[in-house]
Amino acid sequence: MKFKTHISVKNLSVWYGRHQALNNISIDIPDKKITAIIGPSGCGKSTLLKSFNRLVELQDGAKVAGEVLVDGEDIYNPKVEVTHLRKKMGLLSQRPQVLPASIYENVAYGLRIHGIKDKRKLDEVVRHYLKESNLWDEVKDRLHSSASKLSIGQQQRLCLARGLAVEPEVILGDEPTSALDPLSAECIEQRLLELKNQYTIVLVTHILRQARRLADHIIFLYLGNLIEHGPAEEVLKNPRYLKTKSYLEGKFIEEPKIDKELNLRGVIYPDNLIAAKLALGDLQFGQILKIIVDYEQAASELPKAIEHEGHKILEVTKLDKNDGAIIVQKHNGGYVI
């Protein structure tokens, strides 16, 4: 998987009080593409998104561990200026949050706080970004009327214009079309598709059709764990793991019932393959083996080699910073589960 990385997440864990919402997530997000974070409600999608602009730490009792590198720089470094970071990582939330001001002032706001007063310049910028967000034609004759009088769909486009006016590098969208009517939603989707030439876009969505329409890259989370990620074509059409498959087919996601557990921490390839083959030899067809290994082993040749033996890899997960688990079903002799 070769692409230019814009955001690199390394062993990111987030807790709200004692509840762990994200467990050791490591992932690279490509530059100037649309990455969709998918997964059932409560699996940590918004938490992951909000960790990219440090909004997550504003939640009560939130604790963050790990690193998030943006352009190679760890945003959790105490030296990082949070205001600057949030300007760089524009957020479009679920419900549009317009400022209680005119349409014009909503877009001009970001420039005014940066000290730009020149009216000609402001007029030009306001017009430019209202056009960029496909709102100009609808509001050009009432720029100075209140933003809150706009429809929800128009308000969301106004928020997009306001976000773009501060020239972010990344657009973070947390289900940005979920409160909108279908036409307004389509309008936002269309803009995002056009904007990805200029910006890296990370989009949380629980609408699979939307992920299929927009995403170049997919991250599938389940209960705070990263289950699968990769090019949208591969993950959506040909998922590797059982949980992803169940989710995409709208089936109930079950934890596999483990018949035997094998601890191979510290055992390297190909010795761990031999041990795994012996353990699988003792199982019945269709039974499930969980192999605990050092994470590098889980992430490299071992699962492929086991699959090559004809067995089925159901899941590869990260247990903590160093350990991983491979969940494998003994070759089931033609019986498909």
Ligand X SMILES: Nc1ncnc2c1ncn2[C@@H]1O[C@H](COP(=O)(O)OP(=O)(O)O)[C@@H](O)[C@H]1O
Site membership for ligand X, residue 77 (CB under 6 A) = no
Minimum CB distance to ligand X smaller for 59 or for 287: 59
CA 222 – CA 237 distance, rounded (Å): 18
Min CB(55)–ligand X separation in Å: 11
The H-or-E segment that residue 156 falls in is helix 152-165
Could you tell me which of 146, 205, 152 has the C-alpha nearest to residue 176? 205
Residue closer to ligand X by CB (options 21, 70) is 21
How far separated are the first and last CA of the chain, in Å rounded?
A: 29
**Could you say whether residue 46 binds Mg ion (CB under 5 A)?**
yes
Mask of contacts with ligand X, 13-42, x by CB under 6 A? ---x--x-x-----------------x-xx
- Stated as kind and residue range, the H or E segment containing 296 is helix 295-299
Quick check: 5 binds ligand X (CB under 6 A)? no
Residue choice 6, 34, 38, 44 for contact with ligand X (CB under 6 A): 44
Write out the two tokens for 61: 């009792």
CB of 50 to ligand X, least distance (A): 8
Cβ distance to Mg ion smaller for residue 156 or 272: 156
Provide the token pair at 48: 């992951």
Give the relative orientation of helices 271-281 and 301-308 as an angle to the nearest 10 degrees.
40
Q: Report the nearest approach of Mg ion to the CB of residue 239 (Å).
A: 22
Alpha carbon distance 204, 46 (integer Å): 7
By CB under 6 A, residue 89 contacts ligand X:
no
Q: Where do contacts with Mg ion occur on this chain (CB under 5 A)? A: 46
